[in-house]
Amino acid sequence: SAPKGGSVRLMAVGTFDNFNEVVSGLKGSIAAGAGILSDTLLVPSLDEVSTDYGLIAEAVTHASDFSSATFRLRANARYHDGKPVTVEDVIFSMQAFKKHSPMTAAYYRHVTKMEQTGEREVTFIFDAPGNREMPLILGQLNVLPKHWWEGADAAGKKRDIGATTLEPPLGNGAYRVKEFVAGRTVVYERVKDYWGKDLNVNIGRDNFDELRFEYFRDSTVAIEAFKADHVDWRTENVAKNWATAYDFPAVKDKRVVLEEFPQRNRGIMQAFAFNTRRDKFKDPRLRRAFNFAYDFEEMNKQIFFGQYTRINSYFDGTELASSGLPHGQELEILEKVRDKVPPEVFTTVYTNPVGGNSENVRANLREGMRLLKEAGYEIRNQKLVDPKTGELVSVEILTEDPSIERIILFYKPSLERLGITVNVRTVDDPQYENRLRNWDFDIIVASWPESLSPGNEQRDYWGTPAADTPGSRNYVGIKNPAVDALIERVIFAKDRAELIAATRALDRVLLWNYYVVPQFTLDKSRTARWDRFNRQDPLPKYGASAFPTVWWWDAEKAAKTGTRP
């Protein structure tokens, strides 16, 4: 066990106007940390792959063919008002998420019926057998209080679970909202009589008495706030900052600790993502030409201080990533969609163009121009033109993050050498979110984190129905029957070997359709902290830094580091 007490000040960028996690991603901007207010049926292990243990649920069983799953709730599970967590709450929560969250509705689309099958038992029935991941997916359900959401607020207004709210919701988790200033600060306090504090899965977790999130306009302001000791912890996502911004007295005298933690728990695709709903991005040859204009090697040298590697897979950094040519079970799976995928899937090893010197850059731009001409485009007065319409090929790259803007600006001249007119647009967080929800963009910088056990979320990332679902993460607008078929093969894989083979097949088909221009990644989490905290050693294998989850306040270190301002 770890000592309880102290507080931690964390940072968030942008703003917030909502505590209702049901509509997060679709309406408003959810408050940082809001997910800790309510517990889930199961909790994932930070030391094991695809392994969950009981939290609100004390037991789970499933039909032998995975056509249903039954959860038995703990008798002592309670909300912060003392009322018990019930089967009715579980059913209410599932219905609310499916009705008001398109992303979650897709995630739980196989759930066709829910029923109480015992005093504390709820059974979920699926539309088909075979989805081995469904019990774990259901275990991720946040359980919400039906009696609270169907009641009225202090002013007598009936609550609406389909709307945003700044009324702190009743929860059942280890923390509750203590105070907040909308858009600026939110403070969570540890619930001293939290019902689950003595469960084995919670020992050593949730150790701080207070978690405080301070909001900043952008990442530049946020890093200055960290240096001034207005926040305790920072995860650094900008290579330039990591190389140059942490040369200040508190680092030199070791009051601020810089530490990198290995990322073993996920893969990642971060990329320039095309909105293929727009006609100009329908042709894969044009999309591929954009990749030939991207000189990662020079960018890595000039602005990333050589810290990154190029992403070559949608599951980069995991055993799920495709490589070489398909063989064995992966090849068998791909044969089923051979007539629906590019022939190169079977004949050519996927690689990104390599730049880094003038000779490579010229060769890449020549190949990019060849692809554009093959697709029917022409150069007129040094501008790329669609001769069918006479219109210039013009794109807007949209971002909400000034630190991303410099990456786009580095890329822009290379695209202009192909005759493409490029506009860069930086907007605030609310405008950016609204434009994404309405698919109102040409190109964005998007990222799709991948777990070590992919499943239903792949529909939300790449599936045809998600392409027309506001709030989904199918930003690209992919509508591809081969991709849909491979997603289903991933979801209904019968064992780990088939899951790996199906995921590699999906990866390969996504890559060869050139839906994105892959960017870069790092297999570590770069962090900076004021030295007031301690942790177990070693940390959980798949938890990265696991901050603040398994860390605690260290009064001796805090005294040496100095009083907070």
d(CA 100, CA 97): 5
- pTM, full prediction: 0.87
Query: To the nearest whole number, what is the mean pLDDT of the chain?
Result: 96
Domains 7-28+169-263+524-561 and 267-521 share a fold: no
Cα torsion 492, 496, 498, 500: sign: positive
CATH architecture under which domain 7-28+169-263+524-561 falls: 3-Layer(aba) Sandwich (3.40)
pLDDT at 1 over 80: no
Q: What is the pLDDT of residue 358?
A: 97
Q: Which helix (H) or strand (E) holds 426?
A: strand 421-426
Taking Cα atoms as reference points, which of 481, 399, 485, 480 lies closest to residue 447?
A: 399
- % of the chain at pLDDT higher than 70: 100
What gap in Å lies between CA 222 and CA 215, rounded to an integer?
8
Task: Give the pLDDT confidence of 298-336 residue by residue, as tens digits.
Answer: 999 999 999 999 999 999 999 999 999 999 999 999 999
Quote the pLDDT of residue 329: 98
pLDDT classification of 141: cutoffs 50, 70, 90 = very high
Q: Confidence band (pLDDT; 50, 70, 90) for 429?
A: confident
Domain ranges of the chain: 7-28+169-263+524-561, 267-521
Say what the pLDDT of residue 218 is. Answer: 87
Q: Enter the DSSP assignment of 323.
A: -
509-549 pLDDT, tens digit each: 999 999 999 999 999 999 999 999 999 999 999 999 999 99
Q: What's the pLDDT at 134?
A: 94
Confidence band (pLDDT; 50, 70, 90) for 49?
A: confident
Q: What is the pLDDT of residue 96?
A: 97
**Mean pLDDT on 351-361:** 97
Query: What is the spatial distance between Cα 140 and Cα 41, in angstroms, rounded to a whole number?
Result: 6
Q: What is the DSSP letter of 142?
A: B
349 pLDDT above the threshold of 90: yes
CATH number of 267-521: 3.10.105.10
Q: Residues 387-414: pLDDT tens digits?
A: 999 999 999 999 998 889 999 999 999 9
pLDDT band at 9 (very low <50, low <70, confident <90, very high): very high
